[in-house]
Amino acid sequence: MSLSVRHNTQARGQPLEFHYRSRNPFGTLIALAGRSGWFYLWPLTIFVLKQSPAWVIPILSAKAIDTLSDPARHSLHDLLMFGVFTLLLLAQNVPMHTYFIHLVSTTIRRMEQRLRMSLVIRLQQLSIGFHDKTETGRLQAKVLRDVEQIQTMSMYLCESGTMGVTTIVFALCLTAAKDPPMLLVYLALAPVAVFLIRFFKKSIRERNRDFRSNMESVSAEVAQMLDMIPVTRAHGLEGSAISRFRRQTDTLLQRGVHLDRLNATFVSSSWVTFQTTTILGLCITFWLCRAGRISVGDVVLYQGLLMQIVASISVFTNVYPQVAKGVESIRSIGEVLECPDIELNEGKQPVTRVEGAIEFERVEYSYPGTSIPALKGFSLRAAAGDCVALVGPSGAGKSTVMGLAIGFRRPTSGRILLDGADMQTLDMRQYRRFISVVPQQTYLFRGTIRENITFGLDAVDRRTLDEVVEMTHVSDFVRNLPEGLDTPVGEGGSTLSGGQRQRIAIARAMIRDPRLIIFDEATTALDAESENLVQDAIYRMIQGRTTFIVAHRLSTVRKAGKIVFLRAGQVVEQGSYDELMALGGDFFRMNELAG
């Protein structure tokens, strides 16, 4: 059969990992924002404009007091003019503030989206080994929670950070212009803030890391608990599942409280220190005024400026806990974006055509971190169009052979040849366009039956789809559905029977018109009629294509041209059904047991 379909090309999107350096969190943030240095001048100008009333009000207060205390030297008219000017400045705050937030928000929200997209692109590139060892819930927490933390931190830095810096600069400039020695009082504050941050930094960082990793564990636990609900319910283990979750959240609760307490100590220590400094500042200006060096208005002005500086430095110390959380999230995301465990396909030989001959040459494979190889000296030759059944006890290495044939795993030693070419030298992404995998567990996503079958294909012509639907017996049950192929299926295919789900999975594999089929025959207990239909669908699909089947049913094994019996990672018997039965070995005994 010749099928007419078009594959989805590589998802669009520029991976970010090249800019991503979690060791340099702020450099990374700027790179993530993706704006040139000049861009920042514009929001900065808008910020200065919208913030200016806050700086001008202390000057107005000082002028008012000086006009009252010394009317001969300060005119009421000047004061009134200055008052009108301040009111005008105040009026522009609303539109300017909204515009400033619009500028900042579009940059930061875009960064948030780029970060999520980069994570998803990277997660699609990372090896199956990485996904095997990383729980889904943990990764979910990174894509959702950590990105949100970075967004919140960036928002804080843009608003509060800019306010802090500009206010300090303004107060320092005004004081330097009026009375330079007063600068010394302000400058004394900076080391105090630096000291405070340094003093608390290490513990805040450690507590944040603890909390973040605990949060990821809880997220992984939720994902696992939801997956397990049918099993938990079936065994009446709801109570144990709830207690298990409570233990996890108890730890999270304790760590959260510790973190909040530490943050509170830090914030209030800063507050007390800074307030003490303002009192000290007041003493100095009071003394200077009594000595006749400055006016009463100046006392008010300096006090106003000092309080603004203190408020700005406090802003930094107040946002520090949030910044620490954001920095920890940058690190957390780095665990994915900087992970080198990806499949390298760049520069490899393109695969434009696959005949389907595949050969394993003395292949050995050990899972990372294990000492006993899962596969030893495995050799197997399948010509194009052959059907090979892998049988053997569980743990024998059947799935490992499948993983190697798909190119998910690379042999620790030995070679796998595809149409005579070493798989190591081939672009595996292109190779996989020619293969179809029907896993043991049928994955259906929320969508229509049609979408589930044509998943990943841009265009499928109607005749092809009808043909596939007919051949795989999907038509048998779709015919009775009110919306036919456009009937929505629940998440995981919950509204369909096991046999129906399997037939959809087979249709999905078949419509891709693969040259090589990797089939993990499901053990789902199907009724005799469903089993016959599924069997028939499998049989029709594998005609003329190279097929590897992990076979659980004797009927499938009988149809396979070659049977490989595996035990403890080694081939113990290999041959046709009749040959192995005649041998009277492991395969024969397995058949006897199955009755």
Closest to ligand ADP by CB, 108 or 551: 551
Distances (CA, A) of 266 to 199, 204, 261: 9, 9, 9
Shortest distance (Å) from residue 389 CB to ligand ADP: 13
Shortest distance (Å) from residue 492 CB to ligand ADP: 23
Closest to ligand ADP by CB, 181 or 395: 395
Contacts of 418 (CB under 8 A, 6+ apart): 351, 354, 357, 358, 426, 431
Shortest distance (Å) from residue 123 CB to ligand ADP: 18
Closest to ligand ADP by CB, 138 or 398: 398
**Rounded Cα distance, 278 and 141, in Å:** 43
Amino acid symbol at 500 = Q
Contacts of 439 (CB under 8 A, 6+ apart): 505, 520
Instruction: Count Cβ neighbours within 10 Å for each residue of 144-183 and write b for 16 or more, e otherwise.
Output: ebbbebbbbbbbbbbbbbbbbebbbebbbebbeeebeebe
Shortest distance (Å) from residue 374 CB to ligand ADP: 3
Cα angle at 160 between 158 and 162, to 5 degrees? 60
- Within 13 A of 103's CA, how many CA atoms are on the CB side? 17
Shortest distance (Å) from residue 267 CB to ligand ADP: 46
DSSP secondary-structure letter at 103? H
Closest to ligand ADP by CB, 97 or 131: 131
Closest to ligand ADP by CB, 32 or 220: 220
**Rounded Cα distance, 83 and 57, in Å:** 9
Closest to ligand ADP by CB, 150 or 402: 402
Strands 546-550 and 562-567: unpaired
Shortest distance (Å) from residue 363 CB to ligand ADP: 13
Closest to ligand ADP by CB, 396 or 453: 396
Footprint of ligand ADP (CB under 6 A): 132, 367, 370, 374, 392, 394-400
Shortest distance (Å) from residue 393 CB to ligand ADP: 7
Q: Return phi, psi of residue 550, to 5°.
A: -80, 105
Shortest distance (Å) from residue 382 CB to ligand ADP: 18
**Rounded Cα distance, 539 and 517, in Å:** 12
Closest to ligand ADP by CB, 9 or 394: 394
Shortest distance (Å) from residue 431 CB to ligand ADP: 21
Shortest distance (Å) from residue 32 CB to ligand ADP: 33
Contacts of 309 (CB under 8 A, 6+ apart): 167, 168, 171, 172, 186, 189
Closest to ligand ADP by CB, 132 or 238: 132
**Rounded Cα distance, 390 and 529, in Å:** 25
**Rounded Cα distance, 52 and 49, in Å:** 5
**Rounded Cα distance, 90 and 54, in Å:** 8
Closest to ligand ADP by CB, 323 or 402: 402
Q: Return phi, psi of residue 11, to 5°.
A: -55, 140
